A and B are shown apart, each in its own frame.
Chain A
């Protein structure tokens, strides 16, 4: 249980910003020297404000973008797509679920085709076998078999996110990167999706990298927490360590900024306002 499935060492990602008439060309470093391990079957939550490099990190882990330097190793397989390209093996290790369930499904593709696409592209299964797997997966994420032939616009946000999750785990990946998977959903649906994710993790032995800015969600799902600030990791530890005893100033500010809705804190705030 303790061997790491994802090893990231000293990861950098820089973007070149083209110069204009009045600006010099500069480089922007989105991720600066990030290192961490994720153990098999556990959940690492990555927390930070907008623009701190969380999504860039997710894009590198899922092989959408290449890293500028540093190493990523997933399940013993080194990942460096700028040098070696992507093999089918690598693709089966890691998948991603996006934040916005309204944009992540092709509006002209029926749900069945959405789910079968990874199988069609990466395996040589027959059509019937693919359909059986897709139907099985629909049931696993809490949808009905008759949803198989429908279009994405016929579903609610929560259902779409279930479909996106189903697509991501069709290939039975080892690692699933969740890029703010619940922040576009309303609260009750958030809870359902989080429970689904927890069930799937138990059932399939998935490892999650869970990107979020919602601390209450992180507290619910994470085993380990990593706080990023301007591309750097400022805090990295188990959930209890980070939540109970934050070390870095930014983490403290972040926790302090979490809105509280109990009567005591509202009274305090009103009193502060009146004074």
Chain B
């Protein structure tokens, strides 16, 4: 059967460019609402700077983070009396440059955030989708297990898990991911419940879509908005929890330049040398604040109820 196709190659090109335009319009609209929130833009700038700092750490850092300068233990920052220009933010108790350690520490913090959120998000999405889509006994079982996990204080549960798995950065990340997971499960399930009976899902079912396609291709993309927001907020939570575990000696082990671990090492010098605790603390504060601001902006941009149209 020879049928004249309604499109030749030129028309295909215009079709493709139309399609690209539509995608671009969606992104432009997203950016418009995101950029309305000034705090979010500032947070994004700080976050991008942090990422750049982490990626190019060996180029930026003035010293090797692990090298001990024997002639300058606990040197104060350069503007204090007795400070050296070589150590801008001073040195710690064994003579390591704090600025370099902070710069390298950004790598660990961002890595922790990324890994934890990836594990928690994938796990949470799959479990939440199954619970929301299947309903019935499966749903009840999953949600009760999640309720049990949620009923523990989060840091305590992470501590118990690390105690079982053994201290170390990898185990700390796994523990934090498990602690954060129930939030994603509940959020996914709630979103799936509100979407699964919509007409377009029924229409896809009538068209012959199977369970997996319905769950992951039809329903999931429409549930992503709250999940993205929760993921950014969990990113900062993960950094905080990892720092807390590090502080308690259960996370990254010395001499790793992880911010929480740096705080723990500096504990005994709090009164004598304020800079060894202040700067790692500030680093954690600024990072978490920036990411939370971005999360706020994302919520403004993605939640249709908050859009001022």
Q: Does A192 contact B (CB under 8 A)?
A: no
Tally B residues with Cβ within 8 Å of A: 30
Q: Which residues of A contact B208 (CB under 8 A)?
A: 86, 88, 91, 118, 121-122
> Is there an interface contact between B206 and A103, defined as CB atoms closer than 8 Å?
no
Q: Does B22 contact A (CB under 8 A)?
A: yes
Give the distance in Å from the alpha carbon of A108 to the alpha carbon of B302 in the complex.
Answer: 13
Contact of B222 among A95, A104, A106, A118 (CB under 8 A): A106
> Is there an interface contact between A146 and B18, defined as CB atoms closer than 8 Å?
yes
B 133-158 binary contact with A (CB < 8 Å = 1; else 0): 00000000000000000000000000
Give the distance in Å from the alpha carbon of A118 to the alpha carbon of B22 in the complex.
Answer: 23
**Nearest chain A CB to B13's CB is how many angstroms away?**
12
Q: Does B38 contact A (CB under 8 A)?
A: no
> Is there an interface contact between A104 and B18, defined as CB atoms closer than 8 Å?
no
> Is there an interface contact between B200 and A103, defined as CB atoms closer than 8 Å?
yes
Give the distance in Å from the alpha carbon of A259 to the alpha carbon of B22 in the complex.
Answer: 43
Give the distance in Å from the alpha carbon of A171 to the alpha carbon of B207 in the complex.
Answer: 9
B 203-232 binary contact with A (CB < 8 Å = 1; else 0): 111111100010000100110000000000
**Nearest chain B CB to A81's CB is how many angstroms away?**
11
Give the distance in Å from the alpha carbon of A150 to the alpha carbon of B24 in the complex.
Answer: 11
Q: Which residues of A contact B15 (CB under 8 A)?
A: 131, 135, 145-146, 148-149
Tally A residues with Cβ within 8 Å of B: 37
Contact of A118 among B200, B207, B218 (CB under 8 A): B207
> Is there an interface contact between A145 and B11, defined as CB atoms closer than 8 Å?
yes
Q: A121-B208, A150-B22 are in contact. Are A100 and B5 (CB under 8 A)?
A: no
> Is there an interface contact between A151 and B203, defined as CB atoms closer than 8 Å?
no
> Is there an interface contact between B7 and A145, defined as CB atoms closer than 8 Å?
yes
Give the distance in Å from the alpha carbon of A117 to the alpha carbon of B205 in the complex.
Answer: 11
> Is there an interface contact between A110 and B19, defined as CB atoms closer than 8 Å?
yes
How many A-B Cβ pairs are below 8 Å? 88
> Is there an interface contact between A150 and B6, defined as CB atoms closer than 8 Å?
no
Q: Does A154 contact B (CB under 8 A)?
A: yes
A131: nearest chain-B partner, CB-CB: B7
Give the distance in Å from the alpha carbon of A123 to the alpha carbon of B202 in the complex.
Answer: 20
Q: Which residues of B contact A154 (CB under 8 A)?
A: 22, 25
> Is there an interface contact between A149 and B20, defined as CB atoms closer than 8 Å?
yes
Q: A107-B222, A149-B15 are in contact. Are A96 and B7 (CB under 8 A)?
A: no
> Is there an interface contact between A148 and B222, defined as CB atoms closer than 8 Å?
no
> Is there an interface contact between A108 and B6, defined as CB atoms closer than 8 Å?
no
Q: Which residues of B contact A62 (CB under 8 A)?
A: 206
> Is there an interface contact between A103 and B199, defined as CB atoms closer than 8 Å?
yes
Which residues of B are interface residues toward A (Cβ below 8 A)? 3, 5-7, 11, 14-16, 18-22, 25-26, 198-200, 202-209, 213, 218, 221-222
Give the 6 A-B CB pairs with smallest separation, nearest first: A149-B19, A104-B199, A108-B221, A121-B208, A118-B207, A103-B199
Which residues of A are interface residues toward B (Cβ below 8 A)? 62-64, 86, 88, 91, 95-96, 98, 100, 103-108, 110, 112, 117-118, 121-122, 131-132, 135-136, 139, 145-146, 148-151, 154, 164, 167, 171
Known interface pairs A121-B213, A139-B6; 13 further A-B residue pairs with C-beta atoms within 8 A, sorted by A's residue number: A86-B208, A91-B206, A91-B207, A98-B203, A106-B218, A107-B200, A132-B3, A132-B5, A135-B6, A145-B7, A145-B15, A146-B18, A171-B207
